[in-house]
Structure 1
Amino acid sequence: MGKVCILTEKPSVAKNIADALKIKGKKDGYYEGNDYIITWAFGHLLQLYDAKDYEPEMKTWKMENFPFIPEKFRYKVKTNPSNRNLKDAGAEKQLKTIYSLFKRSDVDAIISACDYDREGQIIGDTIIYHLKLNKPIFRLLLNEWTPEEVLKGLKNLKRNDELKPLRDAGISRQWSDWVIGINLTSVATLKYQKGKGQALNIGRVLLPTLKIVYDRDQEIKNFVPENYFKLTATFKTLANELYQGVYIEEKEEKFKDPSYLQTIQQALQGKLSKIIDKQIEHKKEYPPFLFNLTNLQGTITSKYKGWTSDKVLKVAQSLYEKKYITYPRTASVVLEESLVGKAQKVLENLKKGHPYENEITFKKSKRIFDNSKVESHSAIIPTYLIPKSLTKDEEIVYEAIKNRFLAQFMPIAEHEETRILTKAEGIPGVFYTQGKVQMIEGWKKIEQIESKDKVLPFVKINDPVEIVHHELTTHVTKPPKHHTEKTLLRVMETCGKNFQDEESEEMLSSILSGFSIGTPATRAETIKKLKDIGYITVKDKSLLCTELGKRLVETFPVPELFDLEFTGRLEKTLADIEKQKHRREDFLEIIFDFTKKAVEKIKTDRDVTIHEIDTTKKEKESFGNCPLCGYAVIEGQKGYGCSNWKNGCKFVIWKNDKFLAALKKKPTKTMVKALLKNGIVHVKGLTGKNGKKFDAFLRYEKNPENDYFSWKMEFAKQKDLKDER
């Protein structure tokens, strides 16, 4: 019996599998044991051909060359991010390693262990099928990388052919985005942009997301505030206790006409009042559902400053690869029923020594376990492995996931709601009062939600009360708020459907049907890209449309690409391809036809400039010489880097440098100049872990084993050096 070669999506996952199989033998690009060889990709090692790879005349963008749709889509080694004309050397080397392992005569079978999703499927399949192998190919489908699950998964492999619908959906997404992106970006840039520079990005998911932000901005801009008025009265009970009530007529408490309320006010003078109704309702408050990716991103970005949905996904992915949480790119908020035993084991591990250990009790409920509400992946929960050490960011995300999981098994919170109606003699309406008292805090203790009690005095129906004060107040209607990442993600997830209740059945079924903009895995990337290409900007936590974004929405002549329904239908079709309800060929035919018509529309559209690039070259200030190659160090958008970067020089001091950020500092121009001149800089006002300020000398030194640099801190006195504040 020969060996089996396992291909994973990332080195960290390969290590997890090697650990589970107790394989210690690490070679260059793979692990090898008695029965298994485990190798890895770095995400996509292969990418689709660029247009110029198919046809030499596509090297320069000319209107007459579009629409361009290849007869057969082809793949190549991914390109170097710094120079697209060169292959990525790391990717090429790893591909050679993978293929040499696949071809080995002692390897009898291949297992793809890439992530269990559309993208993971095509990452594995493009690599495996690029090489014409006559060996059986299997698929390892896991939701977490703990040793227990890895060993169990290896005993329950599927034939990779069974995953063809997932591959078809992945390829449909990849090819359609390539065709729309290449054609419409090229033609739009030629048509609407003056000057050379960054292209005018057009994308299937990009534009409807931009339109959501644009629409909200316009709503706020066109909002006309209106005055309204409220009448509040203060009543005194027989026991001399006070309470307030708001005047309502036919369930309306906001009045446009103040003179009417003034008439009511005058009529209140000296009137007898009494309690005409009292309702006490005991209400149960269930914990919010378990996290899917969108809810996790929304919760973290709205709670913590400086977090983006993209950052939440990266941190969650890191926790997943470290085996501490289950697969994060999920749309589900419940667990499969088969996970009851596993969830119980996780709960027993997590509750040990917890402050509320005695209140945490396992239960099997439909709110937590329900197959009908799970699509591909269950909700995100912790695994049975308890983290020993986490970074600050990982701790924030892990604690949120852990607490949401524990909350499901805490007592249900309960409160008592009291509603009182007070009637003044001869007045048409009534005064409405509401009170609330938390009876059982339950799960709210874990989620740290403070209940605000409003205790009302004890009264009975028909009790007389005295009006001691009344007041007419003026209010102004407020415009809607700008979108935040949380609200934008929610609109993308539900394709613009406005669900009042975030946990409604309609909302869950809408999400599960695949009718959305993008997928949980791509939404964060879309928002980040909109910021990076300058279509939207961020102010505090608000997302705002830039002038460029606004002009694009108002000018670009392909309305379907801004239409949430259109994009939602395309995403739904991709989900249906996974379920074998739709054919890949039919979907691609629709996309190709749409692209051809869109290109013609742009070509025949009126000539107008959406984006003008300033082509006058500005001489960049030099901060000193690069310690690696001697070229000038200049300021870029994200850091101070070597001007020779196009030729591969890696020297850079990032503006958001993690080491400095931990000390509550950002690199300044003065600091960079001093560092490059003297090799050392004196920095004042650094902040330690204890919050105390201190001064230190910093060096930025090259690591001996690679071209990257690390900070070194010194406290020795150095004369002749100027301070940097």
Structure 2
Amino acid sequence: MVQVILTEKPSVAKNIADALHITQRKDGYFEGKDYVITWAFGHLLQLYDAKDYDKKLARWRMDYFPFIPPSFQYKVKNNPRNKDKEDLGAKKQLKIIYQLIKRPDVDAVISACDYDREGQVIGDTIIYQLKTQKPVYRLLLNEWTQEEVVKGLGNVKPNTEMRPLLDAGISRQWADWVIGINLTSVATLKYQKGAGKALNIGRVLLPTLKIIYDRDEEIANFVPENYFKLVATFQTADEKQYEGIYTEGKEDKFKDKKTLETVKQLLEQQQLATITKKSVERKKEYPPYLFNLSSLQGYITSKYKGFSSDKVLKVAQSLYEKKYITYPRTASVVLEESLVDKAAKVLNKLKKGLPYEEEIVFAKKRRVFDNKKVESHSAIIPTYMMPSSLSRDEELIYQAIKNRFIMQFMPIAEYDETKMTTTIKDTSLEGHFLSKGKVQLAEGWKKVEKIESKDTILPLVSINDMVDIMNHSISSHVTKPKKQHTEKTLLKMMETCGKGHDNEESEKMMIAILSGFSIGTPATRAETIKKLKDVGYIAMQNKNLVCTELGRKLVETFPIKELFDLEFTGRLEKTLSDIEKGKYTKQEFLNVIFNFTSKAVDKIKKEQQVIINEVERNKKQNEVLGKCPLCGHGVIEGRKGYGCSNWKSGCKFVIWKNDKFLATMEKKPSKTMVKSLLKNGVVMVKGLTSKKGNKFNANMRYEKNPDNEFFSWKMEFNKH
């Protein structure tokens, strides 16, 4: 008999087929002796739209809400380019999956979708929509290497054991639908004038916006204060100089400049000072923890230009599907103890040929392996598969993950921290001059990324040594507000609902992350930040995130304050985490959500009408960029692409602004490029990026496919 394996994406199906040496590919699946491997394209099914339950909901009116379906239903997902039509590719693939499951020689189904809430929902909605009586099993893997696939297929679980994970995924999906549909509709009707984009309201969207709003307000309301410091330069008997900051008690910042001017006058009458205290403390520096998704996104977005957290996730997902790293959507920064042997094997492969190879020594360390600190998935590490060719973006992220893993097994970095007190004797000074310095003794794990220590090194002195006072000066300073949020700091706030975000290495931080008390999940946070930008609530200023005027007005006007409250959102996310662990039921959670939504809608209805967003629809004359190659009408620029103005009559010609082929070479079509293409049939495109990150130029044509109505790009290179 045969088993059908359903994966989340074609690339994963190919990985499993390769692992099982199955080479026969058919339309929508791989055929082997014992297994048939087919795939989804992420979600093939989606929840009904409100209008699918009741046609009148196609038009929004206040008295239609709150609307909560008596039972939630699924349909083939919408075509992303035409939301009123089914996605024909998804419909075709669903039909293939169902035909395979129904085959008389098939006796079981194995869901091999990603091992998380979303993956469980994707697989189960497809499989159970068919109402099959055949047993369903679950393949749970953290990586797609051949070794793990073969081992995993020998240890599949009955899918019924995954019911709590499914309940958590369904609860999240239904809750976000109910809150989103109801509150977006009534908020748009109440607070927006003119038709256009809706005022998006979401369970995760609004508290994230509030974090940025609060920081903006803190900066705007910050009152700077002046303070002063007195720094003196001293010289030892062997003519080595060092600096000391005047300190009284523990305070070295003085609001009253006169205090320091008095000290300065006393100094001017002195030539000598004495070393009265000196302490040298040896300290250890441990490497930063292994990456989870949030810390990886924070590290990459703060270090490299052009990366958003959303882009980091996409690149990491690509590395995962290519079998080079383990599952990226994880909250854990340590590994399960069962992975000790696997980690040792991976390390052994990675360290070969490195200049510090001899210093890399595997050990089962509590800082790396700890079951108590793993939440569902272990931290992100490389697999034993060594990449052969990576794009520039993939290379940056793979190297970061690889280096962080190697660091754990390098010697600990060590340094001496010296503190020195210099006292001016025979004066009435209450304070003394404090100097601090460091000397790196062992570089250790810092060698991996060539981290240089910018240390202040103090001269070698002893207590009671006399030193010369060389000079002294008072400097003025101004207190500064906190910095605006970056994606790195925002992700950390979302990960812990603002708790323990100052020190990402602290035990408090680890406990906060593991509790599930957060805004969103590792998988959804990047998407939330991207959506806030897309809907116009926040904007980027260099690497900083700031509220737009619309975002500010929404926070200040929208009356459902619970949705801005980090505690409220954190509790909801914690409840979803508890459902996953079987500690809370799906129905209890949904009852809370439905009750909250109904009350929120009623409250908004009773609120005073305030316009926070006015949509102006200026009918502008669209510039004709050239003639359509299909029908001869003018091609004009739209919001999502450059298309034929005759589209209402059925002309399908369009060049999408997010064209996937051009995106692989880090390019988007411009108006100038489209004009030249339509005029000459070919356009020279400069600055394309190869998979290896090299820049090149090419002539591009956009030609109709002979067997369908779609167009494809053709690339030509000048021959010299």
Cα shift at 1:712? 2.2
Deviations 1:179-217, CA, capped at 9 Å, x for gaps: 000000000011111111111100000000011111111
Deviations 1:293-343, CA, capped at 9 Å, x for gaps: 000000110111110000000000001011110000000000000000000
Could you say if the C-alpha distance between residues 667 and 29 of structure 1 is closer, same or farther in structure 2, counting changes exceeding 3 Å?
closer
Structure 2 CA distance for aligned equivalents of residues 510 and 370 of structure 1: 16
Q: Which residue of 2 aligns with 1:485?
A: 487
- Checking the alignment, whether the CA contact within 8 Å between 1:622 and 1:632 is kept in structure 2 is yes
Correspondences of 1:486-501 after superposition (within 5 Å): 486-501=488-503
Return 68-77 or 617-626, whichever deviates more: 617-626
Unaligned runs of 5+ in 1: 718-725
Letter in 1 for 2:477: H
Residue 409 (structure 2) pairs with residue 409 (structure 1): yes
Q: Which residue of 1 aligns with 2:331?
A: 331
Structure 2 CA distance for aligned equivalents of residues 154 and 694 of structure 1: 44
Which secondary structure state, in structure 1, belongs to the residue aligned with residue 366 of structure 2? coil
Q: Which residue of 2 aligns with 1:128?
A: 127
Correspondences of 1:75-90 after superposition (within 5 Å): 75-90=74-89
Cα shift at 1:161? 0.4
- Checking the alignment, whether the CA contact within 8 Å between 2:625 and 2:635 is kept in structure 1 is yes
Structure 1 CA distance for aligned equivalents of residues 698 and 133 of structure 2: 62
Return 604-613 or 639-648, whichever deviates more: 639-648
Q: Which residue of 2 aligns with 1:91?
A: 90
Q: Which residue of 2 aligns with 1:36?
A: 35
Structure 2 CA distance for aligned equivalents of residues 169 and 87 of structure 1: 27
Structure 2 CA distance for aligned equivalents of residues 635 and 169 of structure 1: 43
Cα shift at 1:86? 0.8
- Checking the alignment, whether the CA contact within 8 Å between 1:30 and 1:38 is kept in structure 2 is yes
Structure 2 CA distance for aligned equivalents of residues 126 and 713 of structure 1: 45
Correspondences of 1:342-357 after superposition (within 5 Å): 342-357=342-357
Structure 1 CA distance for aligned equivalents of residues 61 and 43 of structure 2: 30
Letter in 2 for 1:589: N
Which secondary structure state, in structure 1, belongs to the residue aligned with residue 228 of structure 2? strand
Deviations 1:565-599, CA, capped at 9 Å, x for gaps: 10000000000001111111111000000000100
Q: Which residue of 2 aligns with 1:14?
A: 13
Structure 2 CA distance for aligned equivalents of residues 22 and 692 of structure 1: 34
Return 473-482 or 162-171, whichever deviates more: 473-482
Q: Which residue of 2 aligns with 1:358?
A: 358
Residue 68 (structure 2) pairs with residue 69 (structure 1): yes
Return 624-633 or 590-599, whichever deviates more: 624-633
Which secondary structure state, in structure 1, belongs to the residue aligned with residue 626 of structure 2? coil
Q: Which residue of 2 aligns with 1:604?
A: 606
Q: Which residue of 2 aligns with 1:515?
A: 517
Correspondences of 1:671-690 after superposition (within 5 Å): 671-681=673-683
Structure 2 CA distance for aligned equivalents of residues 658 and 464 of structure 1: 73
- Checking the alignment, whether the CA contact within 8 Å between 2:9 and 2:40 is kept in structure 1 is yes
Deviations 1:221-254, CA, capped at 9 Å, x for gaps: 1111111100000111122211100011111111
Structure 1 CA distance for aligned equivalents of residues 2 and 631 of structure 2: 46
Equivalent of 2:546, from 540, 544, 550? 544
Letter in 1 for 2:230: L
Structure 2 CA distance for aligned equivalents of residues 116 and 697 of structure 1: 43
Correspondences of 1:256-335 after superposition (within 5 Å): 256-271=255-270, 272-335=272-335
Equivalent of 1:464, from 438, 463, 466? 466
Which secondary structure state, in structure 2, belongs to the residue aligned with residue 327 of structure 1? coil
Letter in 1 for 2:170: I
Letter in 1 for 2:196: G
Correspondences of 1:351-500 after superposition (within 5 Å): 351-425=351-425, 426=427, 427-500=429-502
Could you say if the C-alpha distance between residues 336 and 716 of structure 1 is closer, same or farther in structure 2, counting changes exceeding 3 Å?
closer
- Checking the alignment, whether the CA contact within 8 Å between 1:229 and 1:473 is kept in structure 2 is yes
Structure 1 CA distance for aligned equivalents of residues 572 and 692 of structure 2: 52
Return 234-243 or 150-159, whichever deviates more: 234-243
Deviations 1:452-501, CA, capped at 9 Å, x for gaps: 13221111011111211110000111121111111110100010114432
Return 140-149 or 240-249, whichever deviates more: 240-249
Q: Which residue of 2 aligns with 1:113?
A: 112
Which secondary structure state, in structure 1, belongs to the residue aligned with residue 422 of structure 2? strand
Letter in 2 for 1:10: K
Q: Which residue of 2 aligns with 1:576?
A: 578
Residue 714 (structure 2) pairs with residue 715 (structure 1): no
Could you say if the C-alpha distance between residues 694 and 602 of structure 1 is closer, same or farther in structure 2, counting changes exceeding 3 Å?
closer
Which secondary structure state, in structure 2, belongs to the residue aligned with residue 709 of structure 1? strand
RMSD over aligned CA atoms reads 2.2
Which secondary structure state, in structure 1, belongs to the residue aligned with residue 420 of structure 2? strand
Could you say if the C-alpha distance between residues 643 and 307 of structure 1 is closer, same or farther in structure 2, counting changes exceeding 3 Å?
farther
Equivalent of 1:634, from 625, 633, 636? 636
Structure 1 CA distance for aligned equivalents of residues 565 and 383 of structure 2: 40
Correspondences of 1:558-573 after superposition (within 5 Å): 558-573=560-575
Structure 1 CA distance for aligned equivalents of residues 584 and 101 of structure 2: 33
Deviations 1:138-178, CA, capped at 9 Å, x for gaps: 00000000010000001111110000000010010000000
Cα shift at 1:627? 3.1
- Checking the alignment, whether the CA contact within 8 Å between 1:703 and 1:709 is kept in structure 2 is yes
Could you say if the C-alpha distance between residues 708 and 378 of structure 1 is closer, same or farther in structure 2, counting changes exceeding 3 Å?
farther
Deviations 1:521-549, CA, capped at 9 Å, x for gaps: 00000000000111111111111111111
Letter in 2 for 1:252: E
Which secondary structure state, in structure 1, belongs to the residue aligned with residue 474 of structure 2? strand
Cα shift at 1:702? 4.8
Structure 2 CA distance for aligned equivalents of residues 262 and 80 of structure 1: 74
Cα shift at 1:669? 3.2
Q: Which residue of 2 aligns with 1:48?
A: 47
Residue 652 (structure 2) pairs with residue 649 (structure 1): yes
Deviations 1:624-655, CA, capped at 9 Å, x for gaps: 12335545333345654445678683631647
Structure 2 CA distance for aligned equivalents of residues 281 and 463 of structure 1: 20
Letter in 2 for 1:212: I
TM-score, normalised on structure 2?
Answer: 0.95
Letter in 1 for 2:634: A
Which secondary structure state, in structure 1, belongs to the residue aligned with residue 320 of structure 2? helix
Q: Which residue of 2 aligns with 1:505?
A: 507
- Checking the alignment, whether the CA contact within 8 Å between 2:631 and 2:651 is kept in structure 1 is no
Cα shift at 1:714? 4.0
- Checking the alignment, whether the CA contact within 8 Å between 2:62 and 2:189 is kept in structure 1 is yes
- Checking the alignment, whether the CA contact within 8 Å between 1:640 and 1:655 is kept in structure 2 is no
- Checking the alignment, whether the CA contact within 8 Å between 2:245 and 2:433 is kept in structure 1 is yes
Cα shift at 1:666? 6.6
Deviations 1:39-97, CA, capped at 9 Å, x for gaps: 11111111111111111221211100100001111111111111111111001000011
Cα shift at 1:441? 1.1
Letter in 1 for 2:188: T
Letter in 1 for 2:303: K
Structure 1 CA distance for aligned equivalents of residues 536 and 58 of structure 2: 26
Deviations 1:375-433, CA, capped at 9 Å, x for gaps: 10000000000011111111111111111111111111111111111111231111111
Unaligned runs of 5+ in 2: none
Equivalent of 1:555, from 554, 557, 582? 557
- Checking the alignment, whether the CA contact within 8 Å between 2:176 and 2:202 is kept in structure 1 is yes
Which secondary structure state, in structure 2, belongs to the residue aligned with residue 520 of structure 1? coil
Structure 2 CA distance for aligned equivalents of residues 187 and 309 of structure 1: 31
Return 275-284 or 289-298, whichever deviates more: 275-284
Structure 2 CA distance for aligned equivalents of residues 684 and 508 of structure 1: 47
Q: Which residue of 2 aligns with 1:721?
A: none
Which secondary structure state, in structure 2, belongs to the residue aligned with residue 521 of structure 1? coil
- Checking the alignment, whether the CA contact within 8 Å between 2:539 and 2:547 is kept in structure 1 is yes
Structure 1 CA distance for aligned equivalents of residues 56 and 116 of structure 2: 37
Could you say if the C-alpha distance between residues 292 and 689 of structure 1 is closer, same or farther in structure 2, counting changes exceeding 3 Å?
closer
Which secondary structure state, in structure 1, belongs to the residue aligned with residue 448 of structure 2? helix
Cα shift at 1:619? 2.2
Which secondary structure state, in structure 2, belongs to the residue aligned with residue 443 of structure 1? helix
Correspondences of 1:160-309 after superposition (within 5 Å): 160-271=159-270, 272-309=272-309
Structure 2 CA distance for aligned equivalents of residues 414 and 238 of structure 1: 29
Deviations 1:345-370, CA, capped at 9 Å, x for gaps: 11111111222222211111000000
Letter in 1 for 2:655: V
Letter in 1 for 2:344: Q
